Amino acid sequence: MGQAESDTDADSRGASDFVEYGVEDRPPLGTAALLGVQHYLTMVGANIAVPLILAGALGMPSEVIPRFVGTFFVVSGVATLAQTTFGNRYPIVQGAPFSMLASALAVVGVVTASNPAGPDWQAALLQLQGAIVVAALVEVLVGYFGLFGRLRGFVSPVVIAPTIALIGLSLFSTPQVTAATNNWPLLLLTVLLVVLFSQYLDTRSRAARLFPVLLGVVGAYLVAVALSLSGVYAPGSPGYVDVFSVFDAPLFVAIYPLQWGVAGGANTVSVALPLVGDVLFGVPQVTTPFVVGMLAGVAASMVESFGDYHAVARLSGMGAPSEKRIDHGIGMEGAMNVFAGLMGAGGSTSYSENIGAIGITGVASRYVVQVGAAIMLVVGFVGWFGQLVATVPDPIVGGLFVAMFGQIVAVGLSQLEYVDLDSSRNTFVVGFALFAGLAIPAYMGNVGDAATFRQGMAGVWLLGPVLGSKLVADVVFVIGSTGMAVGGLCAFVLDNTIAGTRAERGLDEWEASAEENEEFVSFYDRVVRGRDDGSGSSGSRAD
């Protein structure tokens, strides 16, 4: 069985030697700004991919896409500030969720298919907005009524280990990494630069230690730009950078709640504002089947975030999160999903990429993440920025994934230090959960989409009418497509039904090093009740 710290005091669970800046540390503003931008660089691929995928499914005009992308960055900035200040107060970036993307695409697909001529893309987006807002309200209730945090008493390291590991493993097959037409030299250059700065030069240069991702991405991007301008990379080829497209985008884009109004549409309100003139506000539409389908995506997002919280706590040198911290995190994610729905974005959730950045850089400062979020909030209104980010080639994004997501897998497996690995019971649960978490999503991917899966389930003997219903089939499809949800649920069921002692499952040692509810001081506790969160005594560094 792995060894755990014997001292259960909160002070004994401070940041490890690996952590360069702990959760409460506040680097100088200039350093924090660069570190914050670096945190956001790690999630650029996903935060760009989700709006681009949705824009394609909606049939959104190309001239609107920079504004759509900017909306996602504005939502990310606001959600991150809210989570780090009022929510779980972990140094974790919030961004567009892949876990809700399948549900979103299903909503858009059904709306589009219901009208052979095809509804206006804004009308379809209003339906998506309504589904996200109502489903997110359920997430708010689950979080702030303490329903999700109560699961913690039934969750051991045997469950958490495969759940976190699958967060990293789930992205091994992304097109940015495995596409047959990938630009492997550029991808490998990105990996080599990140590894060089983070692993070989980190002891020789403070800049290399703090900014390995930023240096690696910028270096690879400049090489790609040079090769594109010189004609080595042809337009349309992997790695090509169309730098001149940046100047074709508008300098400023207007982003505001309910912004996707349809000119002359029945669900649009026109309001005359001083200095602005007439502004269209689109009213989100609520359709029950779409809400139910989106609830499956929200459920998968909550399971993913549950694993993310444990991973970021582990990398930040903190104890496992308490029920109270988990509940505040899930509740705030729900509130920010409501905000994302009103803004016309595809939702918001904790970002695994950001956790991988902590593993590479050792920068776990909440202040750094907040500064980065403020920067993203501002630049989200700059059309040039959205287009510039969109020019980052997929091979560079893939290189980032290769360099960072192995860190998350390792963090997940490190939870097993508390577990008796000589127990065949434990090795069976972990192995089964990992295999199922990879195999079932792969099967769902081969099936195709939710509609195809629904048709197949309808043909099941005797239970077909139930399993083939839209409610059941869509929920199963969305959760089954999310590796960490599948693996986590399998491990949860097996670990709580197969006989095993608390010591064998690692619960005794794990809980001894975990955070107590009293140790988490929420925003309400600090402001209304005047409780001290202890940050003033943490010895925050500014060097």
Q: Is the pLDDT score of 324 beyond 60?
A: yes
Residue found by looking up tokens 């884009």 in the block: 253
Most confident of 36-50, 134-148, 288-302, 479-493: 134-148
Instruction: Report how far residue 115's alpha carbon sits from residue 533's, in angstroms, rounded to the nearest whole number.
Output: 55
Non-local (6+) Cβ contacts of 258 within 8 A are 269, 281, 282, 283, 284, 342, 344
Token reading at 104: 């979103």
Q: Which helix (H) or strand (E) holds 281?
A: strand 277-282
| pLDDT at res. 294 | 85
Q: How far apart are CA 287 and CA 343, in angstroms?
A: 18
pLDDT confidence of residue 25: 94
The string of pLDDT tens digits covering residues 424-483 is 999 999 999 999 999 998 998 899 877 888 899 999 998 889 999 877 887 788 788 878
Sign of the CA dihedral 203, 205, 208, 211?
positive
Query: Of the ranges 32-46, 51-65, 276-290, 359-373, which one carries the lowest mean pLDDT score?
Result: 276-290
Q: Select the highest-mean-pLDDT range: 11-20, 58-67, 323-332.
A: 323-332
Question: How far is the C-alpha of 325 from the C-alpha of 321, rounded, in Å?
Answer: 6
Q: Which two tokens stand for residue 310?
A: 């444990």
Amino acid letter, 58: L
The residue among 517, 526, 543, 205 whose CA lies nearest residue 365 is 543
pTM: 0.78
- pLDDT tens, 176-220? 888 889 999 999 999 999 999 988 998 888 888 888 888 999 999
Share of the chain above pLDDT 70, in %: 89
Q: How confident is the model at residue 76 (pLDDT cuts 50, 70, 90)?
A: very high
Q: Which residue has the higher pLDDT, 415 or 33?
A: 33
Question: What does the pLDDT average to over 136-160?
Answer: 89
Average pLDDT of the chain to the nearest whole number:
84
What pLDDT is recorded for position 15? 44
Q: Is the pLDDT of residue 87 over 50?
A: yes
- Confidence (pLDDT) at 533: 61
Phi, psi of 279 (to 5 degrees): -125, 135
Contact in structure between 313 and 152 (CB atoms under 8 Å): no
Count of C-beta atoms within a 10 Å radius of residue 526: 14
Task: Give which of 328, 381, 346, 380 is closest to 132, Cα–Cα.
Answer: 346
The owner of tokens 């914050």 is 36
CA distance 395 to 240: 10
Least confident of 105-119, 224-238, 453-467, 474-488: 105-119
Neighbours of 294 (CB within 10 A): 29
3-state secondary structure of 349: strand
Instruction: Return the residue matching tokens 């590991």.
Output: 165
User: Residue 256: is its pLDDT beyond 80?
Assistant: yes
Does residue 84 have a pLDDT over 80? yes
Q: Please tell me the total number of residues recorded for the chain in this structure.
A: 543
Q: In Å, how far are 106, 459, 481, 483 from 448, measured between CA atoms? A: 12, 17, 10, 16
> How many other β-carbons are positioned within 10 Å of the β-carbon of residue 258?
19
User: 39-43, 200-204, 251-255, 269-273: which range is least confident on average?
Assistant: 269-273
| pLDDT recorded at residue 222 | 96
Share of the chain above pLDDT 90, in %: 39
CA-nearest of 413, 316, 307 to 350 is: 307
Torsions phi, psi for 57 (to 5 deg):
-65, -35
Please give the angle made by the CA atoms of 95, 430 and 487, to the nearest 5 degrees.
40
pLDDT at residue 275 is higher than 90? no
- Do residues 3 and 512 touch, judged by C-beta distance below 8 A? no
Q: How confident is the model at residue 458, as a pLDDT?
A: 92
Q: CA 522: distance to chain centroid?
A: 22
Strands 268-273 and 349-350: unpaired
